[in-house]
Every structure is written in C-alpha cells, then in structure tokens.
C-alpha cells in the first residue's frame, strides 16, 4: 500500500511540479547561480521528472485512443526526429573512415608528428595519436545517435523464438509489452545513472544518483566546473567526457522512440493489418544488387 500510495502521490504531484518548473525557470536555468545549476543537475535525473514523463505518456495515449489522427501525428513526429538525427549522425562513419586513412597516410608516409587545423582563424594543433584515438568518438556517435534511427528502419537483429508465427495483433501486443515493460524502464535506468555519471565528470564536488536535493544544495557552495580532460596517454584524446554525454543522448533518444514504438503498435493493434507501416519513413536502396544482398 505504501508503494501504491507513493505512485499515486507522485502522479498527482507531476502537473504541479511541471507547472512550477515552467513558471520559475530562473531557479534551474540560471547557471551563473551555483544553486540553480545544482537544481538542474538534480531534476534532470530525478523521480519528479520521471513521473512527469509517465503522466505525459499516459495523457498522450488516452487522447490518442480517442483521437487516433492525433496519435499518428505524434508517431510520425517522433519517428521523424529519430530519422533526422540518425541520418545526420551516420555521416560520422564516413568522417571516421576518411580520418583514419589520413592518419595512417601521414604517419607512415610523411612521418608527421602533429596536425594543425585552422578554421576561422583559430589554429587547433594536436598530436597525431590524438586524432587516432578520436576515431572512437565517431564510432560512439554512430552507435548512440543512430540506434533509434536503426530501430525505425527495422535494422536491429531480432531474436525470434515465436514472434514470426503469431497473428498480426498478437505481434503488436508483444511489441507493446516489450516497449512498456522492457525498453522504457531500461532506458529510464540508463538515463538516471548516465545523467549523474556525466555530471560527475563535468563538475566538482561529485554528485550521485542517491543524493537528495537538500544535500546537493549544500554541495552547491563548493560547486565549480571541472570538465574531465584526462586521456589514456599524455598526448592522446582528452575529451572523454563526450562519451558520457553521448550515453545520455542515447538513453533519451531510445526512450523517446520507445514511446513512439508503443504508440505505433497500439494504433496498428486497433486498426488491424491494413495499418502496418502506415506513414513509416524508411530508406530505400536504389541499387538492386545491394537490395538483393541486404
């Protein structure tokens, strides 16, 4: 009963918390104030934010069942967001390959020790090993920012034990169950711990997912920026905090697509087989040889 009462209380307080946040942005967006920054850190991975998202998700679902046209618009918008980000981030794969070729060519042929890049009058000079280690960042961009895009395109490997042989509406019910009880909870946990993990490498003193708001506000007196710039080698890549940022982006985008996937599955369950893939923006391979191979 205590758990149920806590859930009801948090859901009831979600509109109040959202309204207070919207009406008092200076209390968490004014980063010149240390207390405001610490509140932003706390609320970004808090139970209050989680219940605001849960209540928003419930509200969208209820309205969508009543007005299915509205829910289809939500699905297309969320899938369009995943496609847009993924199609841009996918270019990091090409950059990674080109940079690897340049690094190997300069290292083996010209035995260059450093590379200087000077766009817009600012010269950026780093050791060749720095650019070699940076390749991992491009790989992380592709993995984290293209994951939901690949989901939309149907590119993830499915471990199928019985899914293919069941009826259409049974498949949609399985998809709804999977997104509601596996995908969304998993992404919520990754976001919560990833959020504080990211900030532990951006500010000091260290913050933790177990810290209360009162404790963090006391810590804010000593708060200062302390961006992680430690590499695995003295002259190697030193911006590993970006990997923590990408982890949070991954969790956020996959949570958003979990909502989109649930809503699409619900709509297809209601409308039947004729709605399968309705409005789905999938990439088309023009080369028939490549299509056959795929």
| Residues 203 and 241 grouped into a single domain | yes
Pairing of strands 114-117, 124-127: antiparallel
| Residues 260 and 176 grouped into a single domain | yes
Q: Which of 167, 166, 103 is nearest to 138 (CA)?
A: 103
d(CA 150, CA 145): 10
d(CA 257, CA 156): 14
| Residues 102 and 75 grouped into a single domain | no
Specify the pTM: 0.91
| Residues 164 and 272 grouped into a single domain | yes
| Residues 57 and 157 grouped into a single domain | yes
| Residues 121 and 37 grouped into a single domain | no
Number of domains making up the chain: 2
In a domain, 159, yes or no: yes
In a domain, 174, yes or no: yes
| Residues 100 and 79 grouped into a single domain | no
Tokens of 188: 């919520």
| Residues 220 and 194 grouped into a single domain | yes
Q: What is the domain extent for residue 241? A: 2-89+148-277
In a domain, 288, yes or no: no
Give yes or no for a contact between 82 and 149, defined as CB atoms under 8 angstroms apart: yes
In a domain, 40, yes or no: yes
| Residues 126 and 176 grouped into a single domain | no
Rounded to a whole number of angstroms, the CA Rg of the chain reads 23
| Residues 155 and 76 grouped into a single domain | yes
| Residues 101 and 84 grouped into a single domain | no
Give yes or no for a contact between 31 and 195, defined as CB atoms under 8 angstroms apart: no
Chain centre to alpha carbon of residue 137: 16
Q: Which of 73, 260, 86 is nearest to 183 (CA)?
A: 260
Q: Cβ of 286: how many Cβ atoms within 10 Å?
A: 7
Give, for all 294 residues of the chain, the pLDDT tens digit.
577 778 888 888 899 989 988 898 988 888 989 999 999 999 999 999 999 999 999 999 999 999 999 999 999 999 999 999 999 999 999 999 999 998 888 888 877 778 877 777 778 788 888 888 899 999 999 999 999 999 999 888 777 778 888 999 999 999 999 999 999 999 999 999 999 999 999 999 999 988 999 999 999 999 999 998 887 777 788 889 999 999 999 999 999 999 999 999 999 999 999 999 898 888 887 655 545 555
d(CA 200, CA 191): 14
| Residues 153 and 226 grouped into a single domain | yes
- How many helices, marked H, and strands, marked E, lie in the chain? 13, 4
């Amino acid at each position: 009963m205590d758990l149920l009462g806590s859930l009801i209380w948090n859901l009831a307080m979600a509109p109040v918390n959202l309204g207070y946040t919207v009406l008092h942005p200076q209390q968490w967006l004014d980063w010149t104030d240390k207390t405001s920054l610490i509140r932003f850190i706390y609320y970004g991975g808090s139970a209050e934010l989680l219940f605001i998202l849960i209540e928003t998700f419930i509200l969208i679902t209820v309205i969508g069942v009543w007005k299915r046209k509205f829910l289809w618009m939500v699905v297309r918008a969320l899938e369009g967001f995943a496609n847009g980000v993924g199609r841009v981030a996918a270019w990091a794969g090409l950059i990674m390959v080109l940079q690897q070729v340049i690094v190997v060519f300069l290292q083996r042929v010209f035995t260059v020790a450093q590379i200087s890049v000077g766009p817009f009058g600012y010269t950026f000079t780093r050791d060749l090993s720095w650019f070699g280690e940076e390749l991992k960042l491009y790989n992380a961009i592709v993995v984290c920012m293209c994951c939901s895009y690949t989901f939309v395109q149907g590119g993830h490997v499915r471990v199928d034990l019985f899914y293919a042989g069941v009826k259409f509406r049974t498949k949609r019910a399985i998809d709804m169950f999977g997104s509601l009880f596996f995908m969304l909870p998993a992404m919520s946990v990754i976001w919560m711990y990833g959020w504080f993990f990211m900030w532990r490498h951006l500010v000091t003193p260290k913050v933790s997912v177990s810290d209360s708001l009162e404790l963090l506000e006391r810590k804010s007196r000593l708060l200062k920026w302390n961006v992680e710039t430690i590499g695995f080698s003295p002259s190697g890549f030193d911006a590993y905090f970006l990997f923590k940022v990408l982890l949070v982006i991954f969790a956020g985008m996959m949570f958003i697509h979990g909502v989109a996937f649930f809503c699409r599955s619900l709509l297809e369950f209601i409308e039947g087989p004729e709605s399968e893939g309705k409005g789905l923006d999938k990439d088309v391979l023009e080369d028939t040889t490549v299509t056959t191979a795929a």
